[in-house]
Each structure stands twice: as C-alpha cells, then as structure tokens.
Chain A
Amino acid sequence: MAKLPLEGIRVLDFCVVWAGPFATQILADLGAEVVKVENVHFVQPLTRGFWIRPTKAQLEGLVPMIGGYPDLEPGQRPWNRCPSFNNLFRNKYSMTVDLRIPSGMEILKRLIKECDVFYENNVTETMDKLGISYEMLKEIKPDIIMVRVPAYGSTGPYKNYRALGVHLESAIGHSMIRGYRDSDPTTNSAIYMGDYAAGAQGAFAVTAALHYRKRTGKGQLIELSQAENAISFLAESVMDYTLNRRVQGPLGNRNNFGSAPCGAFPAKGDNDWINITVSTDAEWEGLCRAMGDPDWAKEEMFSDQFSRWQNADELEEHLGEWTSQHEKYEAFHILQEHGVPAGPVMHARDCYTDPHIRERGFFKRLTHPEAGTHDYPGFMFTMSRTPPVMRQVPCLMGEHNEYVYKQVLKVSDEEYAEIEREGHIGMDYDPELV
C-alpha cells in the first residue's frame, strides 16, 4: 500500500476543545503521527468532556454531543468516553507529562527535537506562562513549524480573550446575519463555524509550510487568529459593507441571491422538514410539475424569478401546504426527479440509515476498549492512491506513553521508571480533579 501523504511527519498536539484538534485530526487522517500531550494532574477545560468525572445526572443534563456517553454511563474512566472528544482523536497518540515541574519541561524539550510541527490553540498567555514560544522551539529544532491558534490573535487588545467558536463568531458579525427574520438573536442557537474554519485552514497552513520547508529547509511560525480566519467565510456580508456601507441582517433560511422559494418547509411527520431552493425558471417549472401543476402556481405574481422573490412569503405559504402532505424523504425524491434542489433536514438517525451515506461507506465501525463497538463518522474526503484509513481508535489518555517515551525518545527502562516515579506517566487523572 502506498505511503500516506504525511507519513513521517510528527505533530505535537497541544490543542484544546475543538478548533485545534480538528486541524490535527485532518493531519492525522492524512498520515501524520500526531501526539497529544496531556497531563494527569491538570484538566484541559472542555476537552475530554465538560467534566472529567461527571455523574450520571450531570450527563443527562448536557446536550447529547457533550453528554451522550456510551449508554449514558460515565464508566470507569469517563474522560475516554466523551463523544465530542472521541470523534476528534482517532489516528492520534496520547502521552502524559507534567509540565508544571522542571523535569516535565526537559521531557518536552526532548520531544520538540523529534517533531516537525508544534500545534496549539490555547489563550496566548497559557503558552507564555509555560515559557513556550517560537524562539524557544526554534532553538531546539531550527526547522520546526509552530502553529498558534488563539481566539483573536497573539497580539492586540484581545490577545488574551477567551472564546468558544460561538463567541468569536458573534464578534465577527456572524450571529447578526443568521437567525429568524422576525425575531431577535436570543431565539438562535450556538454554532461553531469558527472551529471548523480554524481547523480546516490550520491544516492547510501546515501543508503549505511543509512544502516550503521541503524546498528551503526553513520552518516558520504560523499565527492563525480564529476570528480573523473565520471572517473570510463571511466575505459577502463584509464586502457589502466595504463596497456599499450596507449592514446586513438575518435572512433566516433565504439567501442573498434572489432565490425563491428558499426555506425549510414542514413535511408530514414529527418535526420533519424539507429544504427547497429555487433559483431559476427551469427549477421553478420542475417544482410546479412535482406538485402536479397547481392553479396557484400559475398566477402572475409567481411568473418569473423576480416576482417569485418579491412575493416569496405568499409563495412559501402555498408550498408549505404541498410539502406538509409528503414525508421528507418522499418529497426529496419527487423534487429531485424534477430537477429541484431539495433535501430533508436530517438528524443523526436519518444519517445512519441514509442509503447514499451508507453506500459511500462513510461510517466506520470501531471497537474502542472503553466505549465499545460503534459506527463512527469517517473521513471528509477520499483519495484514489493514498486513501485514509482508521489506523487507530480514539486514544485513551496516556495510552501511548511507552511508545512515545521508549521508542520516540529512546528512554531506557530504568529512566522510564524514574519518569513514572516523578508522576509524569499515567492513564488516570488525579482523584481530586473533576
């Protein structure tokens, strides 16, 4: 089998929550050896779960993506069972070291010598406090590629501001252009586009820097401000302001391109919805045929794309009456047969039973030693010559200590025992930590 594209590239993963781990997961899927650096004496907030030792009651109070542990049981080592963690740590290694004591920093320095990329997404001051900087890394490994992914930047007034994706997206204007057209923003829900943008583009940044290193032998420092990085995903809204000084507001499910109908319409069933977007006359004609050419659709007010856009509210009311007589998958197939862009609003169960997703083999069955056997969401891409593979199940904390210390750092058995005595090695958090 062909070598994976990033085989031989070692990445030290100092990442928390989602934005950083998503980047290193893409790199791991592409073949890099990603080593997550953890500490059994310190809890990275919101990473291996909301709490590392939640009670069953606490799990039940959380949204499923955070609290949906296997069978809703915390288990012996809950930190190895959180869905929002386990889905970002396949194909990665985990080692533990206590960076709060000097011997920990010595171990880290030895690790830095053996890695190609150092990736972190902490608040700027966290790395400062640990004494970790690009200069420090470069001293040890001159061609290292360091990626820093703070919320707003490692300089400027917000350099130490903390945020999840939803907060920085609010600060860059995303929250004000999403949501119901007839309500204030408090009726909206949290989304995390900023984590996605940071992860995907951070992974790209690493590949670009690797190419440059290959050509010139030089490493570099990459600073990715999660906020700045995500702004370009909202370019239409930003450019409307810089071109026309227009401040856009929420559009609900409509778009800026004059499509009509354009929305989520009720389908037969319990809270089921079908999305439909019509942007051309041909799509409109298809929609009319799909509905059996009802009389209302022949009215002059719906005769061309502009008039449909102008009268979208009335049009969508009529359309909703038709969609509510059909189940969402049924409407989906009827509409697609007539060339109309349409799709069911799918929840998790729909995804697992969808024939297209299954036929493409998107889900991968894995047996995790502390979570059991399940179908995991798979890769976002396929490659003909170097297809991504599930080389490893999501890493348990400290699972690869022996590998990292003895094989990567070439530590002797005696030295390993000493390192263990110093408290660096472990697979369990300190009992008093929550």
Chain B
Amino acid sequence: MLDQALEGVTVLDLTHYIAGPHCTKLLADYGADVIKVERTGGGDPARHLGPFYEDDPHHEKSGLFLHLNTNKRSVTLNLKVTSGQFILKELVKEADILVDNFSPRVMPGWGLDYPVLSKINPMLVMTSISNFGQTGPYRDYKASELVLFGMGGEMHSIGMEGREPLKQGGNVVQYEAGAVAAGVTMAAFLAADRDGQGQYIDIPILETQLGGVDRRHAALLAYQYSGQISTQQAGWLSGALASGTFPCQDGYVEIAGGGPLFPRVIKMLGAPAFLNDPKWLEPGTGSNPEMVEEFNTFFLPWLLERTMQQVWEVGQRARVLCGPLYNTADLLKDPHFTGRDFWSGIEHPFTGSIDYPGPPFRMSETPRQIRRSAPLLGEHNEEVYGHIGYSKDDLVRLRERDVI
C-alpha cells in the first residue's frame, strides 16, 4: 500500500452540511484519520439533502453526504449533555486538529471553546468555519449560499442589466471556504508540530469570498484605485469582440478573444479578408456597436455551422481561450476525463458501486486513496469509544440515555 500524505494525523470533525465537511474530506482523502462526530437522531443534516440514490430520501443514500464524507469514520454524540461533552474532551486529548462549523455561540455554550479545549490539549489546532466570523456585528446573523455570495462575492455584476443578479451553480461558495480552511489548518498543524503549540483559526465564509480570487478581490481594489464599480455584463456584451457565451450548432461555447487575444481569433476563423484591416486590432473595437455588428455578421453564422467540439478543437489549434458548455451527461462521457481514469467507482452498502468525482489533485508519492466509503451513521461508535476505554456495557447505557 502506498503512503498517505497525512497518515497519522487525527482530526475531530464537528462539521455538517458542506463547508466544514469539504475541509475535512480533503484531510481524510489524503490520509488523515477523521472522526466525524454526528448529532444523535438524524446525524449530519446533509444526510437529508439530495440528490438521493434512486431518488429515495434515506439518510444513507444522499449523494451529497456520500461525496463529502469519504474516508471518514462516524460516531454519534449528544454534545448538549454533560456526558457527551465529557466524551468529546476525552477525544480531544488524542486529536491533532478539531474542525467545527457551528454558529459562533454554540461551542462556547457547551463549554467546548478553544480556551477550554487548549487546556486539555495545548497542541490542538482548532478551526471554526462560520458565516460571518467569530466577532463583529453580524456574528450571529443567519446565512445561506445565496446570502453569502451576495454579500461577499461578485454577485451584483452577474447577469443582465435590469434583471436580478445571479448566484453561481450549486453550493460552490461553501466548497471554496472549506478548501481555504483545509490549507490554513494544515499550515497551523505544521506550525504546532514545529513549535509545540496549537492555535485557533477563524474562517468566516464571508471573508473567504471578499478575499477570494473569483473577481471580488480585484473588483474591490479597482474601486479603491479608480472609484469604478463593476456592473452586470452578460453574454457577448462584455466589452470585447468574440468574448462571452455564443450559440453554435449543437449547444453553446464560451470564448475569450478580445483585446490582445484577437489575433488568435482571426487565425481560428481562417484569416478572412475583411479582418485584414488593421482597425480590428485598435482599442475600443468591442465597445463600437458598428464594428461588433460587422464582426458578428460573420462570426455568428461561422459558429452555427460548427459543433461545440469542432469550435473547441479549431479554437485550441489557434490558441484561442475557449470551451464547450457541457452538461453532466456530456462531461461523464468525455474521453479526456475517462482516459485519465478520473471518475472513482466507490462501493457503498446502500448504493452499490457509483461513480464519484475523482481526486482533486494527484500526488506522485502519496496519491489519494479511497480507504472506505462514507460511514453509516454511528458506524464507528464501538471502535472509537472502545479505544478511549468505554466497554460495550457503557455504550449500551450511553445509547439508552441518548448520549450516543
């Protein structure tokens, strides 16, 4: 068996839904032992969110949960009661990292905040992911994917002028926050290993958007620099020729071909005579409606005569930045990803073998390995609690009292 990068790292995972579980999934998939602490009763609420295997809303069949929790172990624990809090503290003694994504009042309310836990284990790295951070006037406000993107991200400049602004697909804001949290947590773990002392990390999803590379960081600085505020610019109205989303024969293609990239577009189009005029390379072509129309009179029919794949191939030969608008069916059958063995078939007792998104990155010495599929609720209670000294009889009592 090949090595794992994070072998020997123990993570106590008090996260639920998406942002936190994505963070601990990265740690687990690259080798950490992640113990997922789920609430008694229903467990992680993501177990109750779709898509479900065969559309059956069963808590062991949520595709969202199955994806986010590979390679983790699951225990149930009621942190609202004293015995539950006591058991958690026992687990903290043996953990290197604790990640939670409760709202900021919850962990302190249970007497499980960093000052308490760091006394039990001074080496502990504790990462709290929250909507707005552990301090500040919005600390206790509620949020959603949409709310966080609208406040932190560049939502206001997406969509058509005069219509409502648009979010991105799915729940990507929460994945982004989880990804940032994973790197920062590991860096703090390296520092703890070096200095013999852990620390507390505050990851506000809002700030992972404000400081994030998907346009917001640059739009903020541009406002400071120039006083300009970005506006909604949809489709090929983005201020440059051959730039935006265009229809083609069997779907749509996305192209960025304006400004200094326009010579590549000319090459892609086979250098038609009318584009020989040097006026096409001058600044401001994209905001000149007559030139846009003149260009599109040629360009739009050219696209409609070609499929997504054809535009993509011809474009790439001319080094044009472009791509097809695939749906998931197109994506799953694309030969590039199947040829690279990207999709991971994972066995699970409730679904059989299903294809999941594969490794986000490939490490030559320590490749990602799927050691186990997402755990059943409380599957590892005996194993984990047995390890810290609880007998089978103890576990029966704890179960009776709804502690586990």
Contacts and interface: CB of A to CB of B under 8 A. Distances in A.
B159 A212 contact: no
B402 interface: no
B184 A381 contact: yes
Interface residues of A, number: 178
Interface in B91-147: 114, 132-133, 135-138, 141-147
Given A58-B283, A69-B225, 10 more contacts: A2-B195, A6-B187, A61-B240, A171-B326, A186-B245, A190-B254, A193-B172, A211-B5, A239-B356, A377-B217
Interface string A373-410: 01111111111111000000000000000000000000
Interface string A239-258: 11111111111111101110
Most B CB within 10 A of own CB, among A193, A240, A247, A283:
A193
B252 interface: yes
Interface stretch (B148-156, B291-299, B390-398): B148-156
Interface stretch (B34-42, B71-79, B333-341): B333-341
B214 A236 contact: no
B297 to A, nearest CB: 17
Nearest to B331: A173
Interface in A161-209: 161-168, 170-180, 183-193, 195-197, 199-209
A187 B365 CA distance: 45
A360 B200 contact: no
B67 interface: yes
Given A64-B229, A170-B254, A375-B224, A197 B176 contact: yes
Contacts of B67: 232, 235-236, 239
B205 to A, nearest CB: 10
Interface in B156-193: 156-160, 163-172, 175-176, 179-184, 186-191, 193
Interface in B320-361: 320-332, 334-337, 339-340, 342, 351, 354-361
A42 interface: no
A352 interface: yes
A378 B178 CA distance: 18
A314 to B, nearest CB: 17
B387 interface: no
A176 B325 contact: yes
Interface stretch (A109-117, A298-306, A336-344, A424-432): A336-344
A148 B117 CA distance: 39
B316 interface: yes
Contact of A379 (B197, B211, B358): B211
Contact of A386 (B188, B193, B226): B188
25 contacts: A18-B213, A19-B213, A31-B187, A45-B261, A51-B259, A70-B226, A180-B163, A183-B160, A185-B245, A186-B245, A204-B26, A204-B186, A206-B183, A208-B5, A209-B5, A214-B193, A221-B364, A240-B63, A256-B49, A256-B51, A348-B222, A356-B138, A379-B207, A379-B211, A380-B184
B225 A381 contact: no
Most B CB within 10 A of own CB, among A162, A183, A208, A212:
A208
Given A173-B328, A241-B328, A253-B146, A359 B190 contact: no
A76 interface: no
Interface residues on B, range: 35 or more
A218 interface: yes
Nearest to A251: B169
Interface in A127-171: 134, 152-153, 155-158, 160-168, 170-171
Given A30-B187, A381-B207, A383-B184, A347 B229 contact: yes
Interface in B27-75: 30, 49-55, 63-64, 66-68
In order of increasing CB-CB distance, the 6 nearest A-B pairs are A68-B222, A239-B63, A167-B323, A348-B223, A277-B144, A207-B186
Nearest to A84: B218
